[in-house]
Amino acid sequence: MKILVAGGSGLVGSAIVRELNRQSQKVIGISSKDINLLDRNRTFEFIKSMSPSVIIDAAARVGGIGGNSAYPVEFLSQNLQIQSNLMDAAHASSVDKFVFLGSSCIYPRNCPQPIKEEYLLTGELEETNSAYAIAKIAGIELVKSYRKEYGHSWISLMPTNLYGPFDNFDLNGSHVLPALIRKFTDAKINNDKVVKLWGSGAPLRDFLHVDDLARAVTICLERYDHESQINIGSGTEISIKELANKIALEVGFTGEIRWDTTHPDGTPRKILDIEKIGLLGWRPEITLDNGLKSTIKWYLEKLGN
Domains of the chain: 2-166+208-233+272-286 (3.40.50.720)
Q: How far apart are CA 54 and CA 56, in angstroms?
A: 7
Nearest CA to 164 among 214, 203, 205, 204? Answer: 214
The tens digit of pLDDT for each residue in 230-271 reads 999 999 999 999 999 999 999 999 999 999 999 888 889 999
User: Which of these is catalytic: 132, 163, 224, 299?
Assistant: 132
Contact 163, 177 (CB under 8 A): yes
Instruction: Check if 132 is active-site.
Output: yes
Nearest CA to 119 among 111, 127, 110, 128? Answer: 111
Supply the pLDDT for residue 303. Answer: 84
pLDDT band at 69 (very low <50, low <70, confident <90, very high): confident
Mean pLDDT score, 61-85: 89
Supply the pLDDT for residue 232. Answer: 98
Contact 100, 155 (CB under 8 A): yes
Query: How far, CA to CA in Å, does 286 sit from each of 109, 204, 235?
Result: 27, 19, 12
Q: How many CB atoms lie within 10 A of CB 77?
A: 15
Q: Is the pLDDT of residue 66 over 90?
A: no
* Burial class for 232, CB neighbours closer than 10 Å (0-12, 13-18, 19+): buried
The tens digit of pLDDT for each residue in 126-168 reads 998 999 999 999 999 999 999 999 999 999 999 999 999 999 9
